[in-house]
């Protein structure tokens, strides 16, 4: 994972919204403003989340991993949203179930194979309950970036995640 995939400007703390659509729109609008994604990304990521929910009821706190097709992306990035209050997202693979999400990992991938690689790495992070709790309580984008880069960089060197 390259350092420029996760700029501090992509990390939003205290994101507020009444619904998953509000959260997704706020995060996507930030990526549009920064030139990472096209305007079409906003509607596309919301539509994809409705059709294919990405909420995961993990230990520590629930997360969501919204993403959409590569044609809506200008350059690859990962945006992290720490929600002010949990918002219900549909659970991945479940028809009607929801989970109260506190952390959103929004992916903007410009190549299909890189999306799969990043999802694999993120799943390892998401399975680390102490990491999720630390991220959900963090108040500094710089600290979140440091935590994520340290873990993902360590993982890419072949070592196990703590």
The reply to whether 161 falls in a domain is: no
The pLDDT score that the predictor gives to residue 114 is: 67
Side-chain-side CA neighbours of residue 107 (13 Å)? 26
pLDDT above 70 as % of the chain:
90
Mean pLDDT for all residues in the chain = 88
Confidence of residue 161 (pLDDT cuts 50, 70, 90): very low
What spatial distance separates the first Cα and last Cα of the chain, rounded to whole Å?
18
**Could you list the residue range(s) of the whole structural domain that residue 77 is in?**
3-156
Count the domains in the chain: 1
The reply to whether 117 falls in a domain is: yes
The more confident residue out of 153 and 62 is 62
The reply to whether 162 falls in a domain is: no
Burial label, 62 (beta-carbon count in 10 A; 0-12, 13-18, 19+): buried
Give the separation between CA 9 and CA 112, rounded to whole angstroms.
24
**146 beta partners:** none
- How do residues 89-129 score in pLDDT, each as one tens digit? 999 999 789 999 999 999 998 887 766 777 777 887 888 89
- The edge-to-edge listing of strands for the beta sheet with 11-15 is 11-15, 77-90, 98-108, 62-64, 55-56
Residue 158: DSSP 8-state: T
The reply to whether 137 falls in a domain is: yes
3-state DSSP assignment of residue 88: strand
* Non-local CB neighbours of 44 within 8 Å, separated by 6+ positions: 68, 69, 72
The reply to whether 57 falls in a domain is: yes
Q: Is the pLDDT of residue 158 over 70?
A: no
User: Any idea what the CATH number is for the domain that residue 150 is in?
Assistant: 3.40.930.10
The reply to whether 54 falls in a domain is: yes
Average pLDDT over residues 56-71: 92
The pLDDT score that the predictor gives to residue 5 is: 84
Give the separation between CA 41 and CA 63, rounded to whole angstroms.
20
The more confident residue out of 119 and 72 is 72
- How do residues 9-42 score in pLDDT, each as one tens digit? 999 999 999 999 999 999 999 999 999 999 999 9
Confidence of residue 154 (pLDDT cuts 50, 70, 90): very low
The reply to whether 84 falls in a domain is: yes
The reply to whether 10 falls in a domain is: yes
Side-chain-side CA neighbours of residue 2 (13 Å)? 7
């Amino acid at each position: 994972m390259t350092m420029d995939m996760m700029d501090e400007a992509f990390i939003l703390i205290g994101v507020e919204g009444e619904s998953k659509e509000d959260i997704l729109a706020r995060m996507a609008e930030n990526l549009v403003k920064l030139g990472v994604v096209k305007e079409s990304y906003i509607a596309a990521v919301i539509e994809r989340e409705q059709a294919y929910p990405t909420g995961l009821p993990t230990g520590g706190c629930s997360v969501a991993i919204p993403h959409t097709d590569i044609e809506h992306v200008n350059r690859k990035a990962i945006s992290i949203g720490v929600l002010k209050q949990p918002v219900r997202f549909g659970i991945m693979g479940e028809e009607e179930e929801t989970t109260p999400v506190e952390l959103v990992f929004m992916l903007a991938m410009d190549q299909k194979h890189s999306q799969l690689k990043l999802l694999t790495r993120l799943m390892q992070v998401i399975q680390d309950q102490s990491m999720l709790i630390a991220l959900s309580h963090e108040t500094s984008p710089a600290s979140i970036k440091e935590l994520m880069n340290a873990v993902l960089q360590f993982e890419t060197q072949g070592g196990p995640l703590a």
